[in-house]
Amino acid sequence: MGIETDRNHHELPAHEVLVLVETDAHVGLDAGEARDRLRRFGHNVLPPVHRRGPLLRFLLQFHNPLIYILLVAAAATLALGETVDAGVILGVVLINAVIGYVQESRAEAALDALVAMTRTAATVVRDGTTRRISSDDVVPGDLVMLEAGDKVPADLRLIEVEDLEVDESALTGESVAARKEQTVLPTGTVLGDRANMAYSSTLVSRGRGRGVAVATGAQTEIGTIHRLVGTATDVETPLTRKIAQFSKLLTVAILALAAVTFAIGFARGEPAGEMLTAAVALAVGAIPEGLPPVVTITLAIGVSRMARRHAIVRKLPAVETLGGTTVICTDKTGTLTRNEMTVRELWAGGEAFQVTGDGYSPGGRLERDGRRVDVATVPAVRDCLVAGVACNDTRIDDRDGGVEVVGDPTEAALLVSGAHADVDRESVAEALPRLDSLPFESETRYMATLHEPDGSGPPVVYIKGATEMIVGLADAQLDADGAQIDLDAGRILAEANALAGRALRVLAFARAELPKEAGLGHDHLREAHVVFLGLQAMADPPRSEAVSAVAACRSAGIGVKMVTGDHVATARAIADEFGLVESAGDGQTAGAVMDGNDLAACGDDDLPDAAERASVFARVSPEQKLRLVRALQSRGHVVAMTGDGVNDAPALRQADIGIAMGRSGTEVAKEASDMVLTDDNFATIEAAAEEGRGVFDNLTKFIVWALPTSMGEGLVILVAIIAGSTLPILPVQVLWVNMTTAVALGIALAFEPRESDVMLRPPRDPSMPLLTPTLVWRIALVSFLMVLGAFGLFHLELANGASDAAARTVAVNVFVMIELTYLFNCRSLERSIVSVGVFSNRWVIAGSLAMIVLQVLFTYVPAMNTLFHTAPINVGAWARIAAVAVGVFAVVGTEKLLRRARARVADGR
């Protein structure tokens, strides 16, 4: 009989499932059968994500339009016999490829380290003996034991449960742990409601259980979503799109100029070979050889800066993509919130109290009307806190400088609220040793623990659970002084409903005394004198830094949309705290909470409008997240999607930039992402967006700085051909200028600090070209001034009796010195160098000094004169070069000043 692992096991009785998977409920599999099944079914791991090998990854570094241009130029240069020139160009291409390869390898290594941290062990029964094995070796039919803190190793049909609750947020997005039961469920029960199943990669938050593995590896529910990830397509980033468009335009312009140069010279009767040489020289001059390596270096610097701010970037272009993001779709639990349940309010003795503090950190306190409360003066409050600590199966352990909750986060919140009032677990356990307990059950909806007070007195029972159930058991309540009074059920239920209406999770607490000879049972509680103690209301608090980060994103014009698996009321309450319900963050009002049913009812044509209007999406399925991302992209948005669960992976892959959580994120989510947050914090996304905008600014600054030289060098040659004069600059000199200035000067722009207003600007329009009309005008202006200065001084030197070599040396130095002074103007494309700070980028100063030294060597060292066909020049020539360079600096500075003045007039300032 073959083992059946593809059935809906939640619909079958446990004994039938055991028969189907051919195992025993007590003995489990024998070792030989387990080895055989491991060979048949394979290891309990997801199919490996296809990664490119090292060689292919290196070769793909050359897959770039600008690299293609450089390779063609190198081939043409080599064909003309200029081996040195060809070698220089190929060297540039190789350096660029090595930098990109090393960075991607580092990112993959960082990701592998995160994945290694998620390896787990599993407790199974084989040959009747309990043993610990690697979760990778679990096979269908294995009998798996579960306890609080365990990670479920495979899809299990539960056959025994004891107060078992499982955190399934990684799979369903639901932040509240799911209660598990040993029952048979009807056909069609949805995944989130399958109480008799435990699924791979979910976490046991409370209790214990036993289940039989019915699916492993790719056959699990997370395996299903893993396959869904493959249907999402990798999206080309805005940077790669813009660079590709820019490169095509540049290629056309270069080829056109080269063709015009050849045609004009040939028409004038010049030899075809010489004109081909001139055309190639023009092409080499017009290609910005430094652009590819500087793009890569700038992105790598952004990666390094992001890593210091807790973000690991897996793909270089993702650095800039986040800077161009127009919408961030963010998960709630753990990203916007702390993923640490926290008691916020307490009601006892007929009075309301507030609890300060966030998460599981110490330092909170109880307050009433803003003033600290000493619980010794309010016995009802102390009794309520003691009940929360005594009727509790969870513990909080110190771990690696932080804390780890072993058990239910809700119970952890009760321990913390008690600790704020010096009601700690150890002292309560010592004063009230536990004798027995009744676990929470869906029928009773409460938990009870029996204790023996330290000293004389009857055993005491502490009860916690749903308010209506506790009120139904109680026949009295405490007033503020701790005296028993008649139960006011209506008042208690009204207070509980008011707290629940604020999306707080409310638990009620009570106390009873039992005769010493009586045991603990539901009948005993129904017959006992039960005193209602109070209510504790809790929530997963927002991260304080995330609140300011969301506000910063919205100020920057980036829409923030919460996409969560939580209930609508919970999502709306958190959204209120972030101000998301009033505005979608993109200039549109948001009415604006949609749930999974709303999305399902929304057709593909209507979804883009609905997605733009809404700012909160609750109870959303994986397929709906994918639809949502695609709908926003159809409106031209650059979409960033955050997530940590398996259910988030398809949308992470589809988004322009997928952002996975490093701590809580699943392996599947990390593999599908472009960036991993090591601290799981939305504030890191805002920081990364800020870095991304700075990266794009610096890339734009470099292009605006580099293009005038490339265009100027090409136009100088074109003008010389048209005028029929000697070339003012030779191809080898062009390569010297392009490469030395790119290394000494251009790379310094990659280290330019972010401008102060980078997060006050609206997002870039994704449809806008890389260069705006203003920047194109500035590039043309500086190119014209370079041609005028170089051509003019070249002929002035010849007129003064200088040799061709000396005149060309002057022309080369004109290009370099204009680039040097223009670099300071390019440190900000709008502001003056004074407002930026002359010395705020030490790399610019160091690069400028290095460039001056290089030009002195280029001009006066005999070996350089021979190699580059240069000659020494006099002080007068240097003075004229400096005058031209300073003049260009002044012209560009004046142009920026006039544009700022016009902008202020247009804004009415």
Positions marked active-site: 331
Cβ partners under 8 Å of residue 529, min gap 6:
475, 476, 512, 513
Can you name the residues that pair with 342 across neighbouring β-strands?
539
H/E stretch holding 625: helix 622-634
d(Cα 870, Cα 807) in Å, to the nearest integer?
9
Can you name the residues that pair with 327 across neighbouring β-strands?
559, 639
d(Cα 622, Cα 626) in Å, to the nearest integer?
6
Return the residue matching tokens 């499932």: 17
CA separation (Å) from 625 to 174, 188, 574?
A: 14, 22, 19
Two tokens, residue 524: 């005993």
- Counted residue by residue, the chain has a size of 909
Q: Other CB atoms closer than 10 Å to residue 768's CB: what's the count? A: 11
User: SS3 letters for 339-375?
Assistant: CCCEEEEEEECCEEEEECCCCCCCCCCEEECCEECCH
Return the residue matching tokens 């002057």: 810
Cα(first)–Cα(last) distance of the chain, in Å? 84
H/E stretch holding 697: helix 682-723
Cβ partners under 8 Å of residue 71, min gap 6:
62, 90, 93
DSSP 621: -
Q: CA 531: distance to chain centroid?
A: 49
d(Cα 794, Cα 782) in Å, to the nearest integer?
18
Two tokens, residue 891: 């012209």
d(Cα 793, Cα 813) in Å, to the nearest integer?
10
d(Cα 35, Cα 536) in Å, to the nearest integer?
51
User: SS3 letters for 234-259?
Assistant: CCCCHHHHHHHHHHHHHHHHHHHHHH
Can you name the residues that pair with 640 across neighbouring β-strands?
328, 657
Two tokens, residue 357: 């503090």
Two tokens, residue 28: 């489990």
